[in-house]
Amino acid sequence: MRTLRSQMDLDKLSQTAVPVDAPIPAPHRTFLDILRCPVCKSVPSLQPNKLVCRQCRRAYPIVLGIPDLRVYEDPLIPLEDDYRKGEKIQAQAERLNFVELVRYYWSLPTYPPTPPDLSERFIRHVLTDEQRIEGYKDKIGRGGSFLDMGCGTAALVKVAQQSFRFTVGCDVAFRWLLIARKRLLEAGLQPNLVCCCADFLPFPDGYFDSVASVSLLEHVSETGAAIHPRNGTSYQARQQHLCVDGEPIFTRARTARPGVGSWLYASALDARLHQMEAGNGL
């Protein structure tokens, strides 16, 4: 059963993340200003190396320049190990380019161990992300603000900056966000990245014009929680585009009649998710 992180856990984790020697890009203040406590949605106060929610008395560390507003850890790796791997990646980020950094990541130990041929497959997948992502560019629309939920190495965030004035990527995997930042910085783009959980998004409800999720649902244990109407950040976006294993399963534009549109959307999405679950699609 998933549980929220305790304040003791947060304090301990903020102390275990040791800064590396290389210069670390600081998050942009405009980006920090839109962040909210993922639990109560209050506006947190910015303090040295952390965001503090006075309403529910939670503190969220800013680790290696990445705000970490997770309420539970990445199911694939303990938090301490996620940070430790992130430190190793950041230590190499100043001397390696993006491609080299991806290869370096897969040279690190994994548990269970990843066979070399499978590692090469994963590397090729990351390095060809932008070619596949180009096909989504027309579907996510254009406008003021865009969010990629489960952004991975930020290929879609990079492409979306052609169509949106302000783009954000979020992922539960802290270590991958450091590689995502490298991709964006290498392209001369502002890396607005936050570590968080898809079902506890740290943004104001309805803030984004468009929200996309590519290959996220198959990794979410509580199917549909991240995109259900109760998740105001994603549901209240004017456009929402969802893909599972590269297959588009839902594209929605918000209707002028929210009550009717909400019911139809929830019904259609729940039916599609149930269909996928029945066929072991998730």
pLDDT digits (tens, 9 = 90+) for 105-116: 999 998 788 999
Residue 106's pLDDT is what? 96
Is the model's pLDDT at 125 over the cut of 90? Answer: yes
* Rounded Cα distance, 124 and 171, in Å: 20
Tell me the pLDDT tens digit for each residue of 44-87: 999 999 999 999 999 999 999 999 999 999 998 999 999 999 99
Pairing of strands 50-53, 239-244: unpaired
pLDDT computed for residue 250 by the predictor: 43
pTM exceeding the 0.75 threshold for the entire prediction: yes
What confidence score (pLDDT) does residue 42 get? 96
Q: What percent of the chain shows pLDDT beyond 90?
A: 56
Q: What is the pLDDT of residue 24?
A: 84
pLDDT at 245: 46
pLDDT for 264: 33
112 cis-preceded (ω within 30 degrees of 0): yes
Considering the chain, what is the average pLDDT of its residues?
78
The whole-number average pLDDT for the span 251-273 is 40
Neighbours of 267 (CB within 10 A): 10
Per the CB < 8 A criterion, the answer to whether 270 and 224 are in contact is yes
pLDDT tops 80 at residue 230: no
Of 39, 228, 241, 247, give the one whose Cα is nearest residue 146: 241
Q: Is the pLDDT of residue 23 over 80?
A: no
Q: How far apart are CA 64 and CA 179, in angstroms?
A: 12
For position 18, what pLDDT does the model report?
Answer: 41
Buried/exposed code over 52-79 (b: 16+ C-beta within 10 A; e: otherwise): ebeeeebbbbbbbbbbbbbbebbeebeb
Distance CA(45)–CA(88), nearest Å, equals: 29
Residue 10 or residue 184, greater confidence: 184
pLDDT confidence of residue 220: 53
Local confidence band at 221 (pLDDT 50, 70, 90 cut-offs): low
Residue 134: pLDDT band (50, 70, 90) is confident
Q: Which residue's structure tokens are 């290929």?
A: 155
Q: What is the pLDDT of residue 187?
A: 96
- How would residue 1 be classed by pLDDT, with cut points 50, 70 and 90? very low
Determine the Cα–Cα distance for residues 276 and 31; give it in Å rounded to an integer.
35
193 pLDDT more than 60: yes
Decide if pLDDT at 255 tops 60.
Answer: no
Please, which residues have CB within 8 angstroms of residue 260's CB and are 6 or more apart in sequence? none
56, amino acid identity: C
Residue 118 has pLDDT above 90, yes or no: yes
The Cα 154–Cα 98 span in angstroms is: 12
pLDDT higher than threshold 50 for residue 258: no
Domains of the chain: 74-278 (3.40.50.150)
